Structure 1
Amino acid sequence: MSTKEQVLEEVKIEELLNGENVIVLYNDDVNTFDHVIETLVRVCNHEPLQAEQCAMLVHYKGKCDVKTGGYKELVPICSALLDAGLSAEIE
């Protein structure tokens, strides 16, 4: 096993032990900046500036981590983002 593979395996094990997951928001050609920002403020409890920065990152980079936490905590948040028409998933 190479050193790189060993480090990746250790990281994955650590992530499982910590129980930290992340909601990733993806870019789309449908939603407006205002809708994305308002949804992040409402659903993820972002401050308006934080939501705006996430929206910009999604637009220019294609995706952005918007919320971290335990899987059970993130499921309803991700569902609310999806219900609002945004593209998101838990990783």
Structure 2
Amino acid sequence: MIRSGVPQFVHLVDEVKNKLKNAIGRPRPFLSHRDLTPCLPREYSESYPSGHSTWYVTTSLLLAACCLLICCRNADSVCCRWAVRGWPPV
């Protein structure tokens, strides 16, 4: 199940990231500041949002959602009650 969902997840994240990059349109720093010399091969797509940051955030959210689903198999579990009622438990 996970293996079949990964390509869809990758495609969706890339699609959203690219739409945001096109909508925001922030140029790469070496394009707007000619005195900068990149130490890696140049990319010419927009610079924001960062591809690395996008991947870290979406993967973290996906893992958190998976953990929550696993915890909530038992509706009386502590983490399920915290998720429904908020943190910290009162």
Provide the TM-score with structure 1 as the length reference.
0.30
Structure showing the higher strand proportion among its residues: 1
Larger radius of gyration: 2
